[in-house]
Amino acid sequence: MNEPFHVEIGFHQANHWEGRICGDVFLTTRVKEENRIVIVLSDGLGHGVKANVLATLTATMAMSFTREHKEFHKIAEIIMNTLPVDSERQISYATFTIVDIEIDGETRILEYDNPQAVILRGDKVFEPVWSDILLLSEKGKGKELRSCSFQSQKEDRIIICSDGIVQSGMGSQKYPFGWGRDDMQDYIERLVTTTPDISAARLATKVMNMAAANDGHQPKDDTSAAVLYFREPRKLLLCTGPPFDPEKDKELAAILAKFPGKKIVSGATSIDIVAREWKQEITDSFEFFDPDLPPVSFMPGIDLVTEGILTLGKVTEILKRHNTTTKLGKGPADQIVKLFLESDEIDFLIGTRINIAHQDPSLPVELEIRRTAVKRIAKLLEEKFLKEVKLQFI
């Protein structure tokens, strides 16, 4: 079953201006079998290595207990009982925010000492009913947490952050008491009003950049902003390999024709089949943007046409290495990765006819069988990039 909406997650972070390690930790996971997404942001006391270790401990516990469907007050009690307490200030060493999203159901948020989440419905602030949770255990006695629960809708956004954002600019002439949650919320509302389709990543970056500017681009604390954007999913289909039975060529071409999204065909035999069934011409390109791979081709109705197994092998390597600083080139594998990252639901249509050329023992070991290559890509897309992936063999 397709999700009623896609949850796009954007995150941006900056260290204390003198720090090399961030004391904020952000974790995300998709519990595929339950159609759930869990997000945790933890802020360790102070900054540097010690803060990072405590935030990591807190975030990991929060993620684990939330995945197990423990009640919010139980999660809070366990974390508070486990975390050490600062001997002078008598406060826990880390704060946290947990967002637990059931894609076809409700969204729950639990907060301890982080700034309250900003929730938008369209371009207007949405205020769910917040409840206070008072802890009763000996170690956490008297501590208060906030929680809320609501039914998410398309075009909702949830913005969570560490206090480095709302306290930015503190002591300055403009913000003597810091930027503050209200001013941050007004800024987010203005951005979403003027740019209704702003991506989660772009919005998180804008919030971070404004906080950095408030501090004269020398953040006085570790700062983190995360945005969850509930929207219409973007779909992509990658077709590679001819069908096991040539009589299924028409079916393969029909699946591609009916698909309601962007389309990639990887493999010379595959695109030849589609061109024949669609009665279209293939135009070859002679621009080599990647010395390791043959150039792309072009055909009406297909967004990208590439070589097959070598290109998919390189896609795997790019996805493995990819991080927030990665710059993609213009090569065929880079273009596939770019389309993957821009999409939410990715379907693979995999032909199972063996290509005799790939069974030659004298060819390089990296020349993997197509199915293995696709399964590796699918696993990376699901686990590292939280994409919704489906495989169909033909």
| pLDDT the model gives residue 69 | 85
**Res. 365: pLDDT tops 50:** no
Q: What is the CA radius of gyration of the chain?
A: 24
Which residue ranges make up each domain of the chain? 6-231, 235-393
> Cα–Cα distances in Å, from 317 out to 48, 223, 238, 241, 346?
32, 31, 17, 20, 18
| pLDDT the model gives residue 139 | 66
Above pLDDT 70, what percent of the chain? 92
Across-strand partners of 149?
Answer: 108
pLDDT tens-digit map of 210-249: 999 999 989 888 999 999 999 989 999 999 999 988 899 9
Residues in CB range of 307: below 8 A, 6 or more apart: 266, 267, 268, 293, 294, 332
* Cα 10–Cα 71–Cα 133 angle in degrees, nearest 5: 85
DSSP state of 169: T
| Spatial separation of the C-alpha atoms in residues 40 and 253, rounded to whole Å | 43
Residue 43 in tokens: 């802020």
**Res. 1: pLDDT tops 90:** no
- Cut 0.85: pTM above it: no
Residue 371: its H or E element: helix 370-383
| Spatial separation of the C-alpha atoms in residues 262 and 343, rounded to whole Å | 9
* Residue located via tokens 């943007």: 289
- Mean pLDDT over residues 52-72, rounded? 89
| pLDDT the model gives residue 93 | 74
| Spatial separation of the C-alpha atoms in residues 99 and 271, rounded to whole Å | 43
| Spatial separation of the C-alpha atoms in residues 265 and 287, rounded to whole Å | 18
**Res. 124: pLDDT tops 50:** yes
pLDDT tier at 357, thresholds 50, 70, 90: low
- If we measure between CA atoms, which residue out of 237, 238, 239, 242 comes closest to residue 358? 242
CA 131 to chain centre: 29
**Res. 74: pLDDT tops 80:** yes
* Residue located via tokens 């769910």: 128
DSSP state of 294: P
**Res. 2: pLDDT tops 50:** no
| Spatial separation of the C-alpha atoms in residues 207 and 196, rounded to whole Å | 16
pLDDT tens-digit map of 310-341: 999 999 999 999 987 788 999 999 999 999 99
> When comparing pLDDT for 114 and 90, which is higher?
114
Across-strand partners of 146?
Answer: 111, 132
| Spatial separation of the C-alpha atoms in residues 58 and 25, rounded to whole Å | 9
**Res. 122: pLDDT tops 90:** yes
Lowest mean pLDDT among 19-28, 142-151, 160-169, 347-356: 347-356
Burial of 369 (0-12, 13-18, 19+ CB in 10 A): middle
Around Cβ 205, how many Cβ atoms within 10 Å? 17
Residue 159 in tokens: 């913005």
CATH superfamily for 6-231 is PPM-type phosphatase domain (3.60.40.10)
